Amino acid sequence: MTRFIIRRLLSSVVVILTIVTLSLWITRQAPSNPCLQEREANACACIKEHALDRPVFPVHSPPPLTPLEGCQYWESSGALVLGPLEVLPVSEWNETQYFIYVATLLQGSLGGSMVTDRTVMETLGAALPYTVQLGIQALLIALLIGVPAGLFAGLRQNTMPDYSVMTVAMIGVSIPNFVLGPLLIMLFSLKLGWFTAVGWESWADSVLPSITLGLFYAAYIARLTRGGMLEVIRKDYIRTARAKGLSEQLVVFRHALKGALLPVVSYLGPAFAALLTGSVVVEEIFNLPGVGTHFVRSALNRDYNLVLGTIILYSSLLVVLNLVVDILYTVLDPRVSYDD
């Protein structure tokens, strides 16, 4: 198990570095840049400060940038036309934007925001607790609704209760959160006045966003639990348990439930990561101060460092949560082993 964890951690570093490389390249392909949008008066100084006048990678072609008065690099005609690919000498690789950013990461920093005066870690550190709390609450709602509903349907296969639960689950899967969120605001905030429509001043303000985010996953978990129960309930060891005279409750909760939840456990890691990364739309609808809101606004403002920092954060969460799920899998199913 130890060797498996070490291998996964090493491969995770490669995965995250690949994501950083692709993300850096994609962000630099976007039109405009943060120095033109937010700091027009000091655009040239901003460009120098963030090394935007340097090649992105050692293999590069001149970027198609708009000329800017006062900036020597952008006034050169060669910078306006995409030419053939050029390879920098090895001695100059450390001056490219990519190597500068990787060096910043190795120092334990995500760099500074290109739009505000705060660092990326300060910005994400202030927003992450809201996103994590929202994700945990949404996951709890999904589990508390999805697992009992799936067990209820799975133990009553092809009956009216089974069809009813699965119909509701299908409706839940089909409604996108950008439709459900405004509907909940109209009903519980504008009509009934039970909750605040937008903002996050107290715990009660997180109820509607959590429901909006969690209902989709509740429906999906219900379907997974039902499928797992239908597969396990016909196993020989379940028949043996019943033949020994055990009550149906003991058969279900002691013997069948663990196996029925294996698909759900496998889904929890990606689901929790999806809840965190998928909260972007919900945070925007309810105007929450979470990571998703910063991600959207940084993308609109071309704040490269904040966009990359958010992507690294989301990627790391996804990698770690999948590793945790793989380890939990061996606990729930002794037949699974990662030993060589």
> What average pLDDT does the structure give for the chain?
81
Mean pLDDT, rounded, for 212-233: 86
> How many CA atoms within 13 Å lie on the side-chain side of 154?
25
> How many CA atoms within 13 Å lie on the side-chain side of 324?
14
Q: Which CATH code for domain 120-332?
A: 1.10.3720.10
Name the residue ranges covered by the structural domains of the chain.
1-53+71-82+93-107, 120-332
Q: What is the structure's pLDDT at 282? A: 87
Q: What is the structure's pLDDT at 52? A: 78
Question: Which residue(s) pair with 87 in the sheet?
Answer: 59
Question: Residue 154: is it exposed, middle or buried by C-beta count within 10 angstroms (0-12/13-18/19+)?
Answer: buried
Greater pLDDT, 278 or 119: 119
Q: Considering only 30-39, 108-117, 194-203, 306-315, which range has the smallest mean pLDDT?
A: 30-39
Greater pLDDT, 81 or 301: 301
Helix or strand (DSSP H, E) at 315: helix 304-332
Q: What is the structure's pLDDT at 153? A: 86
Q: What percent of the chain has pLDDT over 70?
A: 87
103: left (phi > 0), else alpha (psi -120 to 50), else beta?
alpha
Q: What is the structure's pLDDT at 261? A: 83
Long-range contacts of 157-164 (CB under 8 A, 24+ apart): 157/230, 162/226
In the predicted structure, residue 204 carries a pLDDT above the cut 60: yes
Q: What is the structure's pLDDT at 230? A: 86
Confidence of residue 332 (pLDDT cuts 50, 70, 90): low
Greater pLDDT, 195 or 66: 195
In the predicted structure, residue 76 carries a pLDDT above the cut 50: no
In the predicted structure, residue 79 carries a pLDDT above the cut 60: no
Q: Mind listing the pLDDT tens digit for each residue in 126-185?
A: 888 888 888 899 989 989 988 888 888 888 888 888 888 888 888 877 888 888 889 999
Mean pLDDT, rounded, for 200-211: 86
